[in-house]
């Protein structure tokens, strides 16, 4: 029985780490949608999401310049979202 409890705790840690990665990716996705659909940038919700999304994007903004502003946003911030899913997925797998 002690082994069952040990795997449960490890599984919980892995789920928390994966959940954090999913939350980071969700923030990036919301920011992408708000920018592409021209949300009011003076809105408090927009500034809140922007304040979270830009630091989470790390070095990805400006990485690719396609000539289309919307496509640049989708590609660069989308890569940041994928990055967080992959990195936290790897960490969760190591923890579990």
End-to-end CA distance of the chain: 18
**DSSP one-letter code for 60:** -
Could you give the 3-state DSSP secondary structure of residue 55?
helix
Model confidence at 1: pLDDT above 60 = no
Model confidence at 2: pLDDT above 60 = no
Tens of pLDDT along 38-64? 999 999 999 999 999 999 999 999 899
pTM of the model as a whole: 0.85
Tell me the C-alpha distance between 72 and 94, whole Å.
33
Tens of pLDDT along 54-96? 999 999 998 999 999 899 999 999 999 999 999 999 999 998 8
Domain count within the chain: 1
The range of the structural domain enclosing residue 7 comes to: 2-95
Distances, alpha carbon 66 to alpha carbons 27, 52, 55, 73, in Å: 23, 25, 22, 10
Dig out the tokens for 83 from the structure. 């990055």
């Amino acid at each position: 029985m002690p082994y069952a409890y040990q795997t449960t705790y490890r599984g919980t840690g892995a789920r928390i780490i994966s959940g954090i990665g999913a939350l980071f990716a969700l923030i990036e996705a919301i920011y992408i949608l708000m920018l592409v659909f021209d949300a009011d940038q003076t809105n408090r919700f927009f500034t809140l999401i922007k304040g979270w999304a830009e630091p989470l994007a790390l070095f990805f903004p400006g990485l690719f310049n396609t000539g289309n502003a919307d496509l640049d946003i989708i590609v660069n911030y989308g890569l940041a979202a994928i990055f967080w899913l992959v990195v936290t997925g790897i960490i969760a797998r190591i923890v579990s």
